[in-house]
Amino acid sequence: MTKKIKIDFVSDAVCPWCAIGYTRLKQAISELDLQDKVTVAWQPFFLNPDIAPEGENIYDYGTRKYGRTKQEGDANRANITKLGQEAGFTFNFTDESRVVNTTDTHTLLDYAKDSGKQTELKEQLFNTFFTDQKDISDRNVLAQLAQKVGISITDLSDVLDNPKTQHRIAEKVSSWHTLGISVVPTLIFNNEVLVNGSRTVEAYKQILTELV
């Protein structure tokens, strides 16, 4: 009998490597026909905990955080776009692309757990941010996404401004740092196999095969 596999997927919605990693993981699960045997729990991580509420232009962000020139930034995004295309995910970076604050996205993802809509919401966040180039820190955008995946919310502000939820997320992020997790994506399979970074489809298939 095939065992259930739980994957804790530590990520941030503005992390392109997380989008690529998840797309590859999803392909690996499909190719092994394990859709009913794998559960994915989306775990919070802040790539940019101190970013301003209005976000930051992608070039300014790259220069400030990584010391990249415009040419280096363009080359990096061209590589990400190519790898995304190969995996089946579309990145549509422009000169006006922004890195945004993800506090509300993590709060909404936390809320989505009870309705079993986390993965659908995460996919929509990736697509909305990277493919559609929309601002996922905008609460109107988040309201539309919640409705799109079937999450019932009477008052979005009550959900997103809930201090207990925010505290729980902060504690969870702190716990990942305590475990030495400093990069995303990080995947933890069955609380025992920890994998940093976006791996290939074949690498994910090998890990999954060893766990079933």
**Residue 144 confidence (pLDDT) above 70:** yes
CA dist 105 and 109 (Å) reads 6
d(CA 128, CA 150): 16
What pLDDT digit, counting tens, does each position of 54-63 carry? 899 999 999 9
Q: What is the percentage of the chain residues whose pLDDT exceeds 90?
A: 96
Q: What are phi and psi of 79, to 5 degrees?
A: -65, -45
| Confidence (pLDDT) at 3 | 76
Whether 1 has a pLDDT exceeding 70, the answer reads no
**Band of pLDDT at residue 19, cut at 50, 70 and 90:** very high
Assess whether pLDDT exceeds 60 at residue 123: yes
Q: Rounded mean pLDDT of 176-189?
A: 96
Burial class (CB in 10 A: 0-12, 13-18, 19+), 43: buried
- CA torsion through residues 195, 200, 63, 94, sign: negative
Q: Is residue 110 over pLDDT 90? A: yes
Mean pLDDT of 6-17: 98
* Neighbouring C-alpha atoms within 13 Å toward the C-beta of 29: 17
